Structures are given as C-alpha cells and as structure tokens.
Amino acid sequence: MARFNFQGEPPTEEKEDVCSLTLAQNVIAGRWKIIILWYLSRRTRRFNELQRLLPGISKGILTRQLRELEEDGMVHREVYKQVPPKVEYSLTQQGKSFIPVLNTMGEWGKKYMEIKQNE
Amino acid sequence: MARFNFQGEPPTEEKEDVCSLTLAQNVIAGRWKIIILWYLSRRTRRFNELQRLLPGISKGILTRQLRELEEDGMVHREVYKQVPPKVEYSLTQQGKSFIPVLNTMGEWGKKYMEIKQNE
DNA sequence: CGGGATCCCAAACGATACTG
DNA sequence: CAGTATCGTTTGGGATCCCG
C-alpha cells in the first residue's frame, strides 16, 4: 500500500533512520575512535599498547577518546590495582555489536583504495 | 598454518584493515556527511532541499561538506544552466557502494537507541 | 536558487610537564 | 604504567553579507 506524504513531509520511518544514524555519528565522531574500536575488536589492549598502535597520538587525547567511548557504553575499562599500574580496555556487549559496522566499513574502504590506486 | 609475529609486530592484513578504516574515517568525518549520504541514497536532492532536511545547517557549511564529498568521489553535482539556478546532488557509483555501511550503521543505531531508552 | 567570501567562535587536537 | 593538568594550535562549524 502506497504511502502519501503531503508536501514531501518525511515519513516517520525516515526520521528514525536519520536519528539512529545521527546517534552513530556522534559515537564515532573523533579522529581515532573507529580505529580504537577496531583494535579492541581483535583483543583486549593495554593503554600503552593502544598508544603504540596509534601512530602520533598523545596520551591526553587517547585518554579522552577512551573516556568518551566508555561514557557511550562502547568500551570497558579494567583497572588492576598494582604497581606499576595496569589498565586493560575491551569492548562491551554494545561495543561488540558495532563490529559488523566496522567490517562493512573496512570492506568498503578496501575497494575504495583499489579504485583510487588505479586512477 | 599459524602466523608468528615477533614482538607483537602487526601482520600485513591488520595494517590493510587499519588503512582502509582510516580512509573511511576521513571520508565520513564531518558533522553532516553521513546524514547527507543517507538522504542522497534515497533520491537525488536539490541544494535547498538538503538544507531544509538538515536542521540548522548553514549554506556555507553545507556547500563545503558537499564539495568534500564530491572531491572524495562520493557525490555527483549536476548543474542545470537556467535562471533561477538548479543544482542536483546524487550518489556516484562509489557513493552507492557505501550504502551497505549506512544500513549496517543504521541498524546498529536503532538497537542502541532502544537500549538507551530502557535505562 | 545556489552559492562565494569573510569573520568569528568553540571544539578538537596536540605538546609538554608532572604524578601516584 | 597510565594517567592528569595546562597550554597552545588547528580545524571545523556557523553567521553574515554579497552576488549572478
């Protein structure tokens, strides 16, 4: 059954899509977040490990991106009370549910790279 | 056959993933780009139409985001030489190949929204 | 109608020094 | 080791005005 929209008013379904995409956009906004999520999708990582994996990132900004991902419920932070300190970062259930997005995005990126190289 | 990596050196495969994800990150970086791509995925849109769909965006910034998407080969800009001017934006083939990412991201966002509401 | 040009501001990023 | 605190810089977004 066709759906009519007077004056091009957007249907509710579209609004929902826009809303959820905006939400996703907010969560992954940040220069390093997608890559951080991807590294954590492979295994748990320590702070220093992440810093080594992310070339050129400073401790301050890495801390902030991780804190924001934590606030958004994507990342779990496990502190081991010992000296020297040890902190491990991993994906929460919600963070893990984001992995399909990373995969789709990665596949797209690969094709995109090939095309760019053949230009 | 197992793969050995001395001192945790990342395998080539991982580097490729990181590289392609970084590429994707660069393309979608920008507050409105994901939403713009999504609106264009549904149909061709005129400039003013996009501005109405994106609440609060100014002409200047909308122009810039569209130009960047154009430079990245995601969006096609069709100018009709007439008065008053008419410009239509649509997805290129490469832009269309990004739709699966938008879909996956949208699905994730919907689940994420439900969870947040039940908290 | 679809911009371009300019200015301004806030946020994001980054470098450095210090700390338990 | 894993931060915090501070500061400086850069980038991006937004507002405004002008134009063909």
Q: Minimal Cα distance from A36: which residue of B?
A: B18
Residues of A in contact with B97 (CB under 8 A): 108, 111-112
* The CATH number of domain A31-113, selected from 3.30.2270.10, 1.10.10.10, 3.30.559.10, 2.60.420.10: 1.10.10.10
pLDDT in tens, A6-59: 444 556 788 899 999 999 999 999 999 999 999 999 999 999 999 999 999 999
pLDDT in tens, A63-111: 999 999 999 999 999 999 999 999 999 999 999 999 999 999 999 999 9
Structural domain spans, chain A: 31-113
- The encoded tokens of residue B15 equal 């580097």
**B79 contact partners, CB below 8 Å, separation of at least 6:** B85, B86, B87
Task: Look at residues B112, B8, B17 and name the one whose alpha carbon lies nearest to residue A41.
Answer: B17
pLDDT in tens, B96-116: 999 999 999 999 999 999 988
Cα(B30)–Cα(A99) distance, integer angstroms: 22
CB contact under 8 A, B97 and A113: no
The C-alpha angle with vertex A70 and arms to A67 and A73, in degrees rounded to 5, equals 155
Provide the H-helix boundaries in chain B.
12-28, 33-42, 47-53, 59-71, 93-96, 99-117
- The encoded tokens of residue B65 equal 């985001």
Is some CB atom of chain B closer than 8 A to the CB atom of A111?
Answer: yes
What pLDDT is attached to residue A100? 98
**How many other C-beta atoms lie within 10 A of the C-beta of residue A117?**
7
pTM above 0.85, yes or no: yes
Cα(A1)–Cα(A87) distance, integer angstroms: 55
